[in-house]
Amino acid sequence: MSRIERAIEEAARARQQQPAAEPATLVPVTRLVRAGNPEALLATPPLEIHNPLIVAAGEGDLAAREEYKKLRSLVVRQTRGESFANTLLVTSTFGEEGKSITALNLAITLAQEYDHTVLLVDADLRRPALHRYLGVQPEVGLIQCLDGSATLPQALIKTGLGKLVLLPAGGSVSNPAELLGSKRMLELIDELKHRYPDRYIIFDTPPTLPFADAQVLAAGVDGVLFVVREGVATLGDIKESLSSLQRARLLGVVYNDTLFPRKKGIYYY
Ligand SMILES: Nc1ncnc2c1ncn2[C@@H]1O[C@H](COP(=O)(O)OP(=O)(O)OP(=O)(O)O)[C@@H](O)[C@H]1O
Ligand SMILES: [Mg+2]
């Protein structure tokens, strides 16, 4: 077994053993989105978030908030071309590199800009984390939308954080790549894309080297944001991971959690 294969196996095993995200007190969801009423999103009280890594209104490190605003500008610049490329996927080489935090912070930052409605989809059907970071306990989500046991309006959750809506995973499954690569998933992406043509849709996914999920999903979205956490993957791992996403358009790389000392104009995010 090669070094990379061994590393992939170890990463996959370690990921299965770790609990997803921080434990949080989860509240049942009573804030489903009524179809066709996007303005009501702004009238929803915001979910309370007490995680310093999450940049909800007034929360989170100021320098980090500035970095996410820069990321937002870069993403908007790259996606608002002649035709609006509104479906993005966030992935990384290995687990725990900060995909979910990046997807969530980018989504919040985009949603807080008045004209950007954002749908954040938890497509990590192995270890979903976004509902935990937001402190909600959804009953249904993407999985049920795909197996036909729920409709989209039954699964979408208003966060009250600007116009941010969450489509949670709705649990975990043992065959996510199959589900994510299914005809129904492509139809769902298409439905979301065309139902909300002015809406950013951001997919959080599992890491790329241990699992095929992000690779499969990347074929159906407009662009990929790749997270690299300092000190986790080697350059070789990152190159291998990026080459597995070759069919996707790489929007950029987010370098996360660096120890690089803060200097004027340079932040640790
Ligand atoms: N910049 C950062 N500074 C400090 N801690 C961070 C940073 N980014 C992420 N973390 C922490 O690292 C852990 C993993 O973050 P996150 O859930 O975003 O990673 P992930 O890549 O989505 O992981 P997984 O592969 O399990 O889905 C969390 O405990 C999170 O709080
Ligand atoms: Mg995650």
For ligand 1, the distance from its centroid to the CA atom of residue 206, given in whole angstroms, is 12
Number of folded domains that form the chain: 1
For ligand 1, the distance from its centroid to the CA atom of residue 87, given in whole angstroms, is 22
Helix segments in 18-141, DSSP class H: 62-79, 99-111, 130-134
Q: Does ligand 1 come within 6 angstroms of the Cβ of 99?
A: yes
Choice from 101, 134, 228, 229 to test ligand 1 binding pocket (greatest atom count within 8 A of CB)? 101
Q: In this structure, what CATH number is given to the domain that contains residue 237?
A: 3.40.50.300
* 136-137 and 223-229 beta bridge pairing: unpaired
Tens-digit pLDDT profile for residues 166-180: 999 999 999 899 999
Q: Considering the entire predicted model, what is its pTM?
A: 0.88
In a domain, 170, yes or no: yes
**Containing domain of residue 137, as a range?**
35-261
Highest average pLDDT, of 44-58, 87-101, 110-124, comes from: 87-101
Long-range CB contacts (within 8 A, 24+) of 61-66: 61/269, 63/262, 63/267, 63/268, 63/269, 64/105, 64/267, 64/269, 65/109, 66/267
In a domain, 256, yes or no: yes
In a domain, 7, yes or no: no
Q: How far apart are CA 162 and CA 116, in angstroms?
A: 9
In a domain, 13, yes or no: no
For ligand 1, the distance from its centroid to the CA atom of residue 257, given in whole angstroms, is 9
pLDDT interval class at 165 (50, 70, 90)? very high
Q: How far apart are CA 145 and CA 138, in angstroms?
A: 13
Mean of all residue pLDDT scores within the chain: 85
Tell me what pLDDT residue 263 has. Answer: 47
Q: Is the pLDDT of residue 222 over 70?
A: yes
Q: Is the pLDDT of residue 268 over 50?
A: no
In a domain, 49, yes or no: yes
Which ligand is nearest to the Cα of residue 21, counting in written order? 1
